[in-house]
């Protein structure tokens, strides 16, 4: 089961990458943008935590996004050691393109599934995640 799940995850991940690339983006760019749009992150450290990557990796992605005119970084007037990150107008437009690609990809993934199927799949995936994290080989108790 683990091997099959790994193959499916890789296949879905590649297809999602392709969908984002078709809209002029990438998964790291999308994760940064969705984090900036969905919550108030005040600085690069908080943004790295929200995206789930190291600060050095985030800096690499932000440098590229800055060079493309998608984000601005400025020093926090209250703490000069901290950089604040914001989307530019061009970044906002790119976000809209990537959001359309992501929602289109989600629609594609949902084809042929009923609402009940999707609920069941979500529950099964959560159970798999718990079982993998549990590490004992025994089924984990459902979370409430």
Q: How far is CA 128 from CA 47, 71, 75, 101, 116, in A?
A: 28, 37, 43, 28, 18
Indicate the pTM of the whole model: 0.80
**What pLDDT, in 10s, does the model give residues 18-57?**
999 999 999 999 999 999 998 777 678 888 988 889 989 9
In the chain, where are the structural domains located?
Answer: 2-111, 112-144
pLDDT at 45: 84
What CATH fold (topology level) applies to the domain 2-111? Arc Repressor Mutant, subunit A (1.10.10)
**What pLDDT, in 10s, does the model give residues 84-116?**
888 999 999 999 999 999 999 999 999 999 999
């Amino acid at each position: 089961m683990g091997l099959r799940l790994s193959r499916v995850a890789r296949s879905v991940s590649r297809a999602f990458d392709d969908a984002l690339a078709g809209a002029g983006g990438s998964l790291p760019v999308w994760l940064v943008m969705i984090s900036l749009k969905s919550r108030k992150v005040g600085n690069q450290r908080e943004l790295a935590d929200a995206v789930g990557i190291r600060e050095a990796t985030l800096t690499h992605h932000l440098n590229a996004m800055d060079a493309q005119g998608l984000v601005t970084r400025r020093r926090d007037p209250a703490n000069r050691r901290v950089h604040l990150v914001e989307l530019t107008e061009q970044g906002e437009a790119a976000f809209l393109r990537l959001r359309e690609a992501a929602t289109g990809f989600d629609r594609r993934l949902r084809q042929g599934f009923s609402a009940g199927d999707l609920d069941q799949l979500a529950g099964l995936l959560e159970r798999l995640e718990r079982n993998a994290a549990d590490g004992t080989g025994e089924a984990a108790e459902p979370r409430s």
